[in-house]
Amino acid sequence: MDDDMVFDPSLKKKKKKKTGFDLDAALAGEQGESTSVEAPAGTGDVDLPEDDNLDLDNFGKKKKKKKKGVFNMEELESTLPETPPAEEPEQQEDEVIDDLDLDIDFSKTKKKKKKKNIEELVLEDDKGEDQENVEDVSGDLWSGTDRDYTYDELLERVFDIMREKNPSMVSGKKQKFIMRPPQVVRIGTKKTSFANFTEICKTLHRQPKHLLDFLLAELGTSGSVDGNSQLIIKGRFQQKQIENVLRRYIKEYVTCHTCRSPDTILQKDTRLFFLQCETCGSRCSVASIKSGFQAVTGKRAAIRAKTA
């Protein structure tokens, strides 16, 4: 219904324009074919009825095409960086835990994408060849005439230009960030070892001290990095629990809050930490790490003996 609503006025517009066009064409006809400016109009004047049809088609296509354009972007993205995760979007949320796959929000978009892709594949064959032609036509739609361009046409044009100029933006948007899961082993009964702690710090491009502070503050315990660069935490923790905390760390201190890109730098500026994004250039302050209130859990007598 809405389509029709939109459709009608545009049709009317076109008719108006067409009359203008006709005049031009008629003029061209009267003046003869020698005028070079009217050359496109000359072609137009033969195709006039056809042109109109084309317009109609374009409208139908444009709507589909707009979606399709998005699909294409997504398709490219999904094919370019990593195909395997894209194949199993449903299971992804489960796998997220295993892979420590960090863009939780992206999985949703991916699902949508997947569905669309299926539809799109059907449409693909029909529209693939037409697309370029349609674009050309749409470029010509108002260039030869003095009619107004429609919103849809302009929108399409700007998206085409955008896609053409920086394909990296399109493909980089959904760049996935895959990390090795943390290796968490219990030492004895009271301590836990986080074996690949420094490795994870390196993949996140963060100071080990910063991540250490965060982990210890979140878990409410104490711990330290030992000789073979593994983290020893007091208390019993499972891999799943550490992953949870790590994911929260990444969400807060690694991924850009604006564009979710993991390509960021954390810098300290007048006692505050700022997250500078390398992709979109945004800069925002992040919460300071505070351990907050810590209840007394050990033996009070021992603490009293220590302090006194």
Partner 1 sequence: MSIQNLNTYDPFADAIKSSEDDVQDGLVHVRIQQRNGRKTLTTVQGLSSEYDLKKIVRACKKEFACNGTVVEHPEYGEVLQLQGDQRENICQWLTKSGLVKPEQLKVHGF
Binding positions for partner 1, rule: CB under 8 A: 217-221, 235-238, 240-242, 244-245, 292-295, 297
Nearer to partner 1, 230 or 239 (CB): 239
CA distance linking residue 200 with residue 206, whole number of Å: 9
Nearer to partner 1, 150 or 196 (CB): 196
> CA of 163: how far to CAs of 160, 167, 168, 169, 178, in Å?
5, 5, 9, 8, 26
Q: How many CB atoms lie within 10 A of CB 227?
A: 5
Nearer to partner 1, 143 or 297 (CB): 297
Q: How far is the CB of 156 from partner 1 (least distance, A)?
A: 38
Q: How far is the CB of 294 from partner 1 (least distance, A)?
A: 7
Nearer to partner 1, 16 or 240 (CB): 240
Nearer to partner 1, 125 or 293 (CB): 293
Q: 177-189: buried (b, 16+ CB within 10 Å) or exposed (e) per residue?
A: bebebbebeeeee
Q: How far is the CB of 187 from partner 1 (least distance, A)?
A: 15
Q: How far is the CB of 270 from partner 1 (least distance, A)?
A: 22
Half-sphere exposure (Cβ direction) of 234: Cα atoms closer than 13 Å: 9
Contact 200, 245 (CB under 8 A): no
